[in-house]
Structure formats: structure tokens, C-alpha cells
Amino acid sequence: MTLRLYNTLTRRIEPFEPLHPGRVALYTCGPTVYNYAHIGNFRTFLFEDLLHRWLQASGYDVFHIMNLTDVDDKTIGHATAAGKSLRQYVEPYIEAFHEDRKYLRIEDASVYPRATDHIPAMVGLVEKLLSQGIAYRGEDGSVYFSIARFPAYGRLSQLENRELKAGASERVSTDEYSKEDVRDFALWKAPGPSDETVGAVWDAPFGRGRPGWHLECSAMALHLIRERWGVEVLDIHAGGVDLIFPHHEDEIAQSCAFTGREEFARVWMHGEFLKTGGEKMSKRFGNITTPRDLREDGVDAGAIRLLMFQVHYRQQFDLTDQGLQSAQEGSRRLGEFQNRLLERRAAADAPAFEEAAERLDRELTGALDDDLNAPRAVAAMFAFVTAGNAALDAGQQAGPRAAAAWERAEGVLGVTSQVRVMKVTQRAEAGAAQEIAELSPTPPSDALEAERWAREWALRRARHKSARNYAEADRIRTLLGGHGFHIRDSKDGSIEVVRTGVAR
């Protein structure tokens, strides 16, 4: 089976055929850096990371471009309110995006172009569209793209002309009626007072101003793929479903008009929304959770990736506490098995591991080649865990074949939490009681001290359990679980404290 992907342009799952065999030009719309990206944004970035990883695992040379939108209405508005230059305002949010991305194990793109670093390419694109008569200067000094002069407009969103007009009308401000058609979009915006104040204005032959949002992606993508491989067509362009119209539709129009080609990208892929409480996660709705919120709560990135990949990227799903807790448990189980598998690796695989490894490789490939069916791929990992634990319990040993199959699956999905298991030794009753008398309900920030804190609480729980004070013993178990420590009572009476979310 070869890789097959759902193409929004055709509304079909199709065999993936890059423009040039063996290499992929991939463009993904990155964050607008006016605030911290929330976990809904990162659902899209995680689906794109899975795509990137699977393309590489499938043997492709991937040139991955992810842009950073550092000039638009939002960044300018927030910089103005903060009394800072545009560059000063966005810098911390760019840094935060990369911190969050690395926490979530999102692999590096090849390049992260910033819009403000590619103004000359944008000016060149607008100049050519003006010379072709596809763009025009409005009475307000802005430059607009004429949709009426591009008959193919609307192929991606598949909206009727009436719907295009209605959608455009919703975005038109009262001072923009100098346009020829309400549907026309701004390629280059005449400067306003705030633009000048924050330093978001550039000189151009057609008038001083700043780029429109849609223009930025086209100009950067075309400039970078020309520079890298001398081509003018992307193999894959990906983003969230909210970008299909108007952003990606407008990108196609201006890019194809500029290059004279029929396509800007061969495959268009879009990830669905992450919701919370039935509503799309949005800063506007005030219902956001950020990766840094989850990191501060001690959630391992493997659990977040597992949560996201348990649902197909083209399906919506709700973020709930119960779902996150279940993902944490599942990711911890994967982590414990990984420790067991790799620590007890032998020179050769027992027959049970040979068979399980072959099945994992086959099912992982079949799942991800089928439009990145991550839920099926995750299920294949858990099936391998079940078979592997049974084999280990029966005294069989895992060797290089099993380890390689596991590392391949985890290398693509990244859903396993790092787990540390600590043995707790029972001590004399008086000594234990004296040492743990003044325990805090929250762990110290230092990792080693936090582990000592957890061991002491585990001893206190054992003491309450021995005294049949089960309510207090359960309270302590819950307390520890809330901070990433899980207690496991062995049949021989010993105690293990299992910690997840340890820094990798």
C-alpha cells in the first residue's frame, strides 16, 4: 500500500504523488504571534508534525516551511496597545511558540520564515499582479486582487458565487468600499496611524504600506521553494479547516495568477477543530488551554500527543479532563512497557516478539499510509504492549527486532511518557512517623526533592492503610496522582512510586 491522503481540493483520498519522486515541498501555516498559541492551535501543528514525521519515515526528503505571521491587524493592534514596536512585541511570543513546540516534541521545520523578513518578495509579487491587470489600486491607496479577473476562484472552498459575496461582506469595513467588488481582497494595505507608530510600514513602488495576510504566505512559500529546488508548486499545503476560506482560497488565486500555473499545491490538507464544552477553542471565547498550562500541571507531552492522535485529524473532538486523564494513564502504560522492553533486551528475539514486531510494523504502515489514521496506529502500539507484556511475563525475551519496531512507532507518534519507577522501602514505624510529620501537600520544585517528597507520602499512605484508615490512604493516592506520582502496591508488600512527566 502506498501513502494516500485526503485532498481538500478534490474532496477525495488519493495516492500521494509528489512533483519530483523522493522529495516533498511542505508548507504549513504557523502561528500569528500576538499571544500564546493555545492547545487548539497545537492540534493542527501536531497533525502536521505527524505528517512531517511519516513522510520522513517513508523515505522522503522533506523541505518543511512553517511561517510565523508577525505583521497583521492583530499583531499591530496588540503592539499599539502595549506601546511597543512590532518587533519588540512579537519577539517573546515567537520564543514562547518554540518553547511550547519543543515541549510537545514537534520536530523542527526546515525553515521558520517571518513575514517581516520577506517584504521584497511580497512587493515583487504585487508588482507583477498589477502589471498583469489582475490587481488594482483602490481609492484608499491599498492594492486589491480582482477576483472577477481570476475565473478559477473558489475551487478549494467550493462555495457558490453568492456565498463568496456573503462571506466577503462580513469582512468588509465601512472605509473599504473603494474596491471594485466586495469579494476582492487586499494584497497591500495603505498605512494607518498605528502602522506607522509600531514600525509596520514599508516603501513600495505602488505606495507605502504593509502586506495583507494572504499575500505573506504565497510570497514566502514561492520564494523559498524556488530558492531550494527551483520549483513553483508545493507538494502539500496544510493548515486548520478555518483557513480554507478565505485564506487558502486567496493564496491559490494570487499564487497561480503570479506563476501562471494551474496549481499552487498538489495536495491541500486541513485539520479539524479541537473544542471545549462543545465550542471551538478560541481566545475570543475565553475557553483556551495552552501547552504551558499543561506543562505546569506536570502533564507529559506523550499524553497530549496520545490524546490528539486517538482521534483522526479530520474529526472534531472535545477536550475534557476525563479524556486527558485517560490519555495520561495510557501514555504512562506505554512508558512503563518501554522501560521493560528496552531494559531487558536480549541478543535475539523470542518467536512471540518476532511475530508481534512484524504485526506492529505492518499495522503501523497500513494505518498511517491510510490518510494518517493515527487512531489505528495507536491501537497497533497498544496491541504490541499487550503481546509484549504477556511474552515477558512468560519469560520470553525481546531482541533487536522488537526494539526496532517499537522505536519506529514511537519515533513517528511520540506518544509515550517517560516513566521513572521508584522502590519505597518500609522503615521502622517510629522513624517513618517522625520524618513525615511536616509534609507539604505540594512537591518541591527540585526534581530529586520532589521524588523524596513522593516517597515520604507513600510511606504515610502505607501507614494509614495498615491502620485500615482507607479514606486517608485514598486521599493520599489522589494527592500524589495530581502531581504525576502513582502508587502501585506489589503482592510482596513492597511499594512502587511511578512518576510520569520527567523531563526528557
Q: What is the CATH number for 138?
A: 3.40.50.620
Whether the pLDDT of residue 173 is over 90: the answer is no
Q: Select from 417, 448, 473 the last residue of a domain.
A: 417
Could you tell me the pTM of the whole model?
A: 0.90
Do residues 152 and 189 both lie within one domain?
yes
> What pLDDT does residue 360 have?
98
> What pLDDT does residue 166 have?
54
Beta strands in 254-350 (DSSP E): 265-271, 274-276, 279-280, 317-318
pLDDT tens digits, one per residue of 270-289? 999 999 887 888 776 677 89
Do residues 72 and 122 both lie within one domain?
yes
Do residues 120 and 162 both lie within one domain?
yes
How far is it, in rounded angstroms, from Cα 121 to Cα 390? 59
CB 402 within 8 A of CB 356: yes
The helix or strand, by DSSP H or E, that contains position 78, with its residue range, turns out to be: helix 73-82
CA atoms within 13 A on the CB side of 420: 16
Q: How many domains does the chain have?
A: 3
Do residues 382 and 430 both lie within one domain?
no
How far is it, in rounded angstroms, from Cα 366 to Cα 348? 26
Note whether residue 431 is domain-resident. yes
Instruction: Look up residue 21 and give its amino acid.
Output: P
**Which phi and psi (to 5°) does residue 83 adopt?**
70, 35
Do residues 367 and 432 both lie within one domain?
no
Note whether residue 286 is domain-resident. no
Note whether residue 287 is domain-resident. no
Note whether residue 368 is domain-resident. yes
Percent of the chain with pLDDT over 70: 93
Note whether residue 188 is domain-resident. yes
Q: Which three cell numbers stand for residue 430?
A: 517510629
How far is it, in rounded angstroms, from Cα 313 to Cα 43? 8
Do residues 201 and 271 both lie within one domain?
yes
How far is it, in rounded angstroms, from Cα 75 to Cα 97? 15
Residue 443: CB atoms within 10 Å? 21
Residue 405 is part of which domain span? 299-417
Of the two residues 364 and 427, the one the predictor is more confident about is 364
**Which phi and psi (to 5°) does residue 442 adopt?**
-125, 145
Q: Select from 280, 311, 343 the last residue of a domain.
A: 280
Do residues 276 and 308 both lie within one domain?
no
Whether the pLDDT of residue 170 is over 70: the answer is no
Residue 460's closest CA among 435, 494, 493? 435
Radius of gyration of the chain (CA): 27
pLDDT tens digits, one per residue of 424-443? 876 534 444 444 457 888 88
Note whether residue 292 is domain-resident. no
pLDDT tens digits, one per residue of 455-492? 899 989 988 888 899 999 999 999 998 888 888 887 77
Residue 244's closest CA among 44, 50, 46? 44
How far is it, in rounded angstroms, from Cα 233 to Cα 245? 20
CB 376 within 8 A of CB 370: yes
Do residues 237 and 349 both lie within one domain?
no
Percent of the chain with pLDDT over 90: 76
CB 159 within 8 A of CB 153: no
How far is it, in rounded angstroms, from Cα 182 to Cα 147? 10
**Which phi and psi (to 5°) does residue 184 adopt?**
-60, 145
Whether the pLDDT of residue 218 is over 50: the answer is yes
Do residues 238 and 253 both lie within one domain?
yes
Do residues 47 and 68 both lie within one domain?
yes
Note whether residue 293 is domain-resident. no
Q: Select from 217, 251, 280 the last residue of a domain.
A: 280
What contacts 385, CB < 8 A, 6 or more positions away? 333, 334, 337
Q: How confident is the model at residue 501 (pLDDT cuts 50, 70, 90)?
A: confident
CB 411 within 8 A of CB 53: yes
Whether the pLDDT of residue 346 is over 90: the answer is yes
- The whole-number average pLDDT for the span 224-232 is 98
Do residues 455 and 349 both lie within one domain?
no
Got the DSSP string for 202-250?
B--TT-SBEE-HHHHHHHHHHHHHHHHHS-S-EEEEEEEGGGIIIIIHH
> What pLDDT does residue 432 have?
44
Helices (H) and strands (E) in the chain, counts: 17, 16
Do residues 239 and 384 both lie within one domain?
no
CB 25 within 8 A of CB 234: yes
Angle, nearest 10°, between helix axes 39-57 and 400-413?
140
Note whether residue 291 is domain-resident. no
Q: What is the side-by-side order of every strand in the sheet holding 279-280?
A: 279-280, 274-276, 317-318
